[in-house]
Structure 1
Amino acid sequence: MPTDAQVAGGHKATLNNPNVSQEAKEHSKQVLENDFNGGDVPKAGDDESKNPGNVAGGLKATMKNPNVSEEAKESAKERLDNM
């Protein structure tokens, strides 16, 4: 079942897709205005909705990934230390 943020994100994508009819864009605009305060909903990835164990695992993986910049590794280490 999609979250509100995912549904709103789909409607936002519809508004920006040049291959979508004007009618579909109008529908998505109305849904966002009526059901989602104009599209102002929390992102699906907000920290309170995430599993802390999964977040920690992702941060640890970031720190060991050779394709990640040193800056990103430091940021991941700081976030992990603050958990």
Structure 2
Amino acid sequence: MDSTSDQKDLGNVIRGHKANLHNPNTSQEAKKHSKEVLEELGIETSGFVSEISGPDVNIEGKNPGNVAGGYKATLHNPNVSEKAKERAQEKLEEMGAK
């Protein structure tokens, strides 16, 4: 597979997981999985998954470096809203990450 195809496939994966988070017929377990996949890809999910994670995301059992990396990626992503960037910055400060 060439890199163009890989990028299109990744785009489809991202769109599928985002759709899953908005689908009222999807289980909470499936939504949690989609949220985790998107965050591993550095995509901010706090704007549309509050019903899953609540206002304070619990990182227990997760690699704090990966979580911080996701928030840092959010800060540098030009496609992320300023509100999401502010939240990511707050979370990094709460974690003590630089």
Please report the TM-score for the alignment, with normalisation by the length of structure 1.
Answer: 0.46
Structure-2-length-normalised TM-score: 0.39
